[in-house]
Structure 1
Amino acid sequence: MKKIGIIVLGLFMQTIFAQTNRFVYQVTMKPNAADKNDVKTENAYLDISAEKSLFYSENRIKRDSIMQQNFQSGGARGFNRDQMESLRSNINYTVEKDKANQKTFFKDRLGRDVYQYEEDRPISWKILSETMKIGDYKVQKAETDFGGRKWTAWFTTDLPYQDGPYKFGGLPGLIVKVEDAQGEYSFDLMKNYKISDFPSMNQFGNTIKVKRTDFVKQQEKFKSDPVSFMSNQGGGFSQTRMGGGGGGIAPPRSGGGGGNRGGNGGDFRKRMEDRVKEEAKNNSNPIELN
């Protein structure tokens, strides 16, 4: 009986440590450089296991769920545009940290495809002696310069994780709060709970692995010529595409002769360029300035 009890206890402990812990952060942003009164707030998840962590928008999962239900029903119900519009997010990226190899991977969509790069800039923290309480946690202060901003973080050793929201990590505890010196971006831990596993995320198009510097170049190219990223050859990295079948947004198919085709293509290009310019203006104050 004693042997059985030890086995049961071992399985119980294994189950506990196999679980994924979800930390919910409130993200406050001022993404429009021309209007600092335009404050955006939404929730994001930091899911942590022993092997990795994943940071992404709460609205991403909600949108994926709606789209999945729509596809499973054969698209018969159609999308509720108002509902999808309410789930728009300023956090369109995901950040994955590989615990074993101490690597951080950033993913973001440009047109049809998702671009991924490995972060090549280590975050160097200055840990200060100042402490205080945030909610239930005793926290300690740390500072760093990253992405063209000066950041102040408050971390706790009350939780057994050395991680944080976005690309932040590497402190001897979990980051409870991190904010830039201008007060334009902040991440505040709201709550945490256990989940069974990491969520399965929908992805349309291919994953293109590039260097960070190349991603920045492609991002600028997308802003100036978004339509080129909607074709199968768009973006300049078609030879490095990984994964299957292009999805996402594609140019509308023509249904008639050459004249109609040219007109439709011109209308599509104009709408696409106008949309990207509007989004660029609304996101002219990015989290990373360089």
Structure 2
Amino acid sequence: MKKNLLILLFFFLQVSFSQENIIIIDYTHHIHMKELPSATIVDARLTFNDTVSNYEMDFVGNLNFEEEKAGKEGGSVYAIKAKKNPHIFKNFIEKKISSIERVSMKPFYVKDTMNIFDWKIDTSKREILGYKCQKAKTHFRGREYIAYFTLEIPYPTGPWKFYGLPGVILSVESTDKVFKMNANQIVIKKTNETISNPFDEIVLKPITWESYIKEYEKKYYELKNYRGENGTTRSLPKKKIETIILETAPYIKD
């Protein structure tokens, strides 16, 4: 009997020590491009541990969020039903950020570097969901951003592609008010679960951000020179959330 109790205790300790923290943060994901009459607002979920981080934007509506965000801040929930939720997956070991980026409707599997943020930490502070947060600023691909991160959750990740501060980012907003994400719930749990990479089974060959830019430039200039039978034109934007076409971009003929 005593031997059996020792075995059970040993098994319990092994399980306890093998468990790691997984942190889940729910955000309101808000985009309001200036050329559009209203904002697009969706729920999003950041799930992360010591090695990986996955940010999922719930365009499909399958993450079972408790609160309905429709109509908040004068915006509207995304009206077109998507087949799959978009993901931003960060691998802290590889120092890569994976995402699907598009040229028109054609998808590209992009593995971007994590060394893309140059943060300036400010002395300003605020509280978010009971956590003490500190202000930081950065310029990223055409926009200025203000973020608030907390050292009380010392993981260098955040919503969307944001990364690189000494604590998780709970709030981030572009100074032009186009793009912002605010945390509204935090859950920390010990578990044996792993965080799967949503791109593990993708058939597309990964490319770099620089290669994606070249693909985008080719299509941009192709459409720029397009004239339909009735003089109709088609175009791609130079700037989405990130600036794609720089003013100094080369004219690509082939």
TM-score w.r.t. structure 2 length? 0.69
Counterpart of 1:171 (choices 160, 165, 168) is 165
CA RMSD of aligned residues (A): 3.7
1:144 is the counterpart of 2:148: no
Post-superposition CA distance 1:175-195 (Å, at most 9, x none)? 010111111110111113358
Q: Which has the higher strand share?
A: 2
* Larger mean Cα displacement after TM superposition, 138-147 or 156-165: 156-165
Counterpart of 1:185 (choices 175, 179, 196) is 179
Structure 1's 61 and 109: CA in aligned 2 closer, same or farther, altered over 3 A?
Answer: farther
Counterpart of 2:204 (choices 192, 204, 207) is 207
Provide the secondary structure at the position in 2 that maps to 1:62.
Answer: coil
Counterpart of 2:94 (choices 101, 111, 120) is 101
Give distance in 2, aligned partners of 1:204 and 1:170. Answer: 27
Give distance in 2, aligned partners of 1:225 and 1:60. Answer: 32
Q: Which runs of 5+ in 2 are unaligned?
A: 64-77, 224-228, 245-254
Post-superposition CA distance 1:102-125 (Å, at most 9, x none)? 332333245454322323653111
Give distance in 2, aligned partners of 1:57 and 1:99. Answer: 20
Counterpart of 1:218 (choices 207, 215, 231) is 215
Give distance in 2, aligned partners of 1:109 and 1:205. Answer: 15
Question: Do the aligned residues in 2 keep the contact of 1:113 with 1:206 (CA within 8 Å)?
Answer: no
Provide the secondary structure at the position in 2 that maps to 1:286.
Answer: coil
Post-superposition CA distance 1:73-127 (Å, at most 9, x none)? xxxxxxxxxxx965349x9743221112333233324545432232365311111
Question: Do the aligned residues in 2 keep the contact of 1:112 with 1:205 (CA within 8 Å)?
Answer: no
1:215 deviates by 0.6
Question: Do the aligned residues in 1 keep the contact of 2:59 with 2:85 (CA within 8 Å)?
Answer: no
1:5 is the counterpart of 2:9: yes
Question: Do the aligned residues in 1 keep the contact of 2:28 with 2:41 (CA within 8 Å)?
Answer: yes
Alignment of 1:67-86 (within 5 A): 86=80
Amino acid at match of 2:134: Q
- Tell me which residue corresponds to 1:27: 29
Report the count of equivalent residues: 216
- Tell me which residue corresponds to 1:44: 44
- Tell me which residue corresponds to 1:235: none
- Tell me which residue corresponds to 2:62: 62
1:285 deviates by 5.4
Q: Which has the higher helix share?
A: 1
Give distance in 1, aligned partners of 2:137 and 2:10. Answer: 45
1:115 is the counterpart of 2:119: no
Structure 1's 114 and 204: CA in aligned 2 closer, same or farther, altered over 3 A?
Answer: farther
Structure 1's 219 and 106: CA in aligned 2 closer, same or farther, altered over 3 A?
Answer: same
Structure 1's 203 and 163: CA in aligned 2 closer, same or farther, altered over 3 A?
Answer: closer
Provide the secondary structure at the position in 2 that maps to 1:218.
Answer: helix
1:288 is the counterpart of 2:222: no
TM-score w.r.t. structure 1 length? 0.61
Amino acid at match of 2:23: N
Post-superposition CA distance 1:172-227 (Å, at most 9, x none)? 1110101111111101111133584446859997313222122123234456779x
Amino acid at match of 1:171: L
- Tell me which residue corresponds to 2:250: none
Give distance in 1, aligned partners of 2:220 and 2:79. Answer: 22
1:130 deviates by 1.3
User: Identity rate of aligned residues, in percent?
Assistant: 21
1:167 deviates by 1.5
Structure 1's 224 and 122: CA in aligned 2 closer, same or farther, altered over 3 A?
Answer: closer
